[in-house]
């Protein structure tokens, strides 16, 4: 037990120092930008609206999305401050309900197009996206129009009114632009859904900023991601028109590496809209959506992410790139170790409470010193999470994020265990990844009108 305690303490120390290094880099970057504002000029809302509009093709893969897709399409058409865009929804011949839902919107709106994949579903999300791109090209040939920007969204997304304007402004300066993804607030009793708010806020407001600064690239989140048409055409030539990798569950994450491999730039774009009402906080332009509130669904979804990012990434890409990029890949894959070690740490803590005389760590030992440092790093981790969430949500949610840390670790541990089993099973059976989707929800009209804080 003492040996396990020492191992766990050291593992947590290594991961904690890794996270602390990211914190230091983030605040150093923020300070540098404040001291040198001329090097980072901010485009105004008026300038955004004045720019000529590039034609944008929005890609939405859909499998059994009849419950949400029609409302998502209507809300996007109604609220987005952009006129030169069209939406292409990928459907399957054996999913009649989704096809009918899309057709109900497309009937009176020429900007909505339904692309039908040739095979019955589910194949996987990457396959659906590849067929959507094929449909866009057919549309280009038929109409003589060429879309300059491809924009990736899901059927449950609430798209910010200015998001298309931002894509228009920053593409093709960057070949891939990622807007932050911020889950909706949920009631305090829905701790599972709350963990998504905690993790995405810290990742997309702080960690990804450092990632772009150090490695020169950011991975796609799968929604709110814009791509240059020229860059996508170059990928099509290199990968026989299979732009999205069908051999992984995280085709969005993989695509960023494909773009980086051909020298294309990707960026995270944080843009805050100044409030028009006194006392209101600045609003981050981000994609908003509901994430699972059910423990089982959250484990399934996070296991899919872990399987794609950690296992498929390791299997297909190894440790590509320079040292800085490899460091970021290490941070992605360390979840396999840290999520397990965190759970081991909780078990050891409980055991120490119940059997203190047997496993007590001497206070004059090096292990005790490591545990004290771990405690300081944990306090810093809590502080970072609270301050980050407070930037995009309420003080109440920031406070709730602290007990949710433990619950989030439980979910992540179960996700790692499930992903490990699925990977081993896939290796033994040779099965190709199949789309295992999560049931989605979309806000009601009343929630949309009042600003959506469910």
- Is the bond leading into 122 cis (omega within 30 degrees of zero)? yes
Two tokens at 296?
């089982």
Helices (H), 146-280: 163-170, 191-202, 208-215, 229-238, 251-261
Report pLDDT digits (tens) over 265-286.
999 999 998 877 776 778 899 9
Asked whether the predicted pLDDT for residue 453 surpasses 60, the reply is no
On the question of pLDDT at 436 being above 70, the answer is no
Report the chain's terminal Cα–Cα distance, integer Å. 45
Q: Does residue 371 register a pLDDT over 70?
A: yes
Nearest to 102 by CA among 60, 139, 138, 165: 60
Q: Please, what is the Cα angle at 434 between 428 and 440, to 5 degrees?
A: 140
pLDDT digits (tens, 9 = 90+) for 38-60: 666 788 899 999 999 999 999 99
Residues of the chain with pLDDT > 70: what percent? Answer: 92
Question: What is the biggest distance separating any 2 CA atoms in the chain, rounded to whole angstroms?
Answer: 79
User: Residue 99: what pLDDT?
Assistant: 95
CB of 185 closer than 8 Å to CB of 453: yes
Where is average pLDDT lowest: 267-271, 372-376, 443-447, 448-452? 448-452
Structural tokens at position 115: 């692309």
Count Cα neighbours of 140 within 13 Å in the Cβ-side half-sphere.
15
Predicted confidence band at 36 (pLDDT cuts at 50, 70, 90)?
A: confident
Fold of 43-292+440-450: Spore Coat Polysaccharide Biosynthesis Protein SpsA; Chain A (3.90.550)
Angstrom distances, CA of residue 230 to CA of 86, 235, 246: 18, 9, 21
């Amino acid at each position: 037990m003492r040996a396990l305690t020492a191992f766990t303490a050291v593992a947590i120390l290594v991961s904690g120092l890794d996270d602390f290094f990211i914190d230091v880099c983030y605040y150093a970057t923020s300070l540098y930008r404040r001291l040198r504002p001329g090097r980072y000029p901010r485009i105004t809302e008026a300038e955004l609206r004045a720019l000529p509009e590039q034609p944008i093709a929005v890609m939405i893969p859909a499998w059994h999305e009849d419950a949400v897709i029609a409302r998502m399409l209507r809300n996007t058409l109604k609220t987005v401050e952009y006129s030169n865009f069209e939406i292409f929804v990928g459907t399957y011949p054996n999913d009649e309900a989704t096809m009918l839902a899309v057709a109900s919107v497309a009937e009176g709106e020429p900007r909505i197009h339904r692309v039908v994949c040739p095979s019955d579903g589910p194949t996987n999300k990457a396959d659906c996206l590849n067929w959507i791109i094929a449909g866009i090209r057919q549309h280009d040939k038929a109409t003589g129009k060429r879309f300059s920007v491809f924009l990736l969204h899901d059927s449950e997304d609430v798209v910010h009114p200015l998001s298309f304007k931002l894509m228009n402004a920053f593409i093709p300066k960057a070949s891939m632009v990622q807007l932050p993804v911020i889950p909706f607030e949920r009631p305090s009793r829905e701790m599972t859904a709350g963990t998504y708010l905690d993790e995405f806020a810290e990742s997309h407001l702080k960690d990804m900023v450092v990632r772009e600064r150090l490695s020169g690239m950011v991975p796609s989140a799968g929604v709110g991601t814009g791509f240059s048409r020229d860059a996508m055409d170059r990928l099509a030539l290199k990968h026989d028109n299979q732009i999205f990798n069908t051999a992984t569950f995280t085709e969005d994450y993989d695509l960023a590496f494909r773009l980086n491999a051909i020298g294309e730039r990707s960026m995270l774009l944080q843009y805050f809209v100044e409030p028009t009402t006194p006392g209101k906080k600045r609003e981050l332009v981000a994609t908003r959506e509901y994430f699972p509130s059910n423990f089982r669904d959250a484990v399934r979804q996070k296991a899919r992410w872990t399987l794609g990012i950690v296992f498929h990434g390791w299997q297909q890409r190894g440790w590509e790139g320079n040292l800085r990029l490899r460091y970021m890949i290490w941070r992605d894959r360390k979840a396999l170790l840290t999520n397990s070690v965190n759970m081991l740490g909780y078990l050891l803590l409980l055991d120490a409470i119940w059997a203190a005389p047997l496993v007590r760590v001497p206070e004059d030992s090096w292990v005790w010193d490591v545990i004290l440092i771990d405690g300081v790093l944990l306090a810093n981790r809590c502080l970072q999470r609270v301050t980050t969430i407070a930037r995009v949500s309420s003080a109440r949610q920031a406070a709730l994020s602290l007990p949710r840390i433990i619950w989030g670790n439980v979910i992540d541990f179960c996700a790692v265990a499930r992903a490990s089993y699925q990977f081993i099973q896939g290796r033994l059976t040779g099965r190709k990844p199949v789309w295992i989707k999560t049931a989605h929800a979309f806000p009601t009209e009343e929630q949309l009108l009042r600003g959506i804080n469910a």
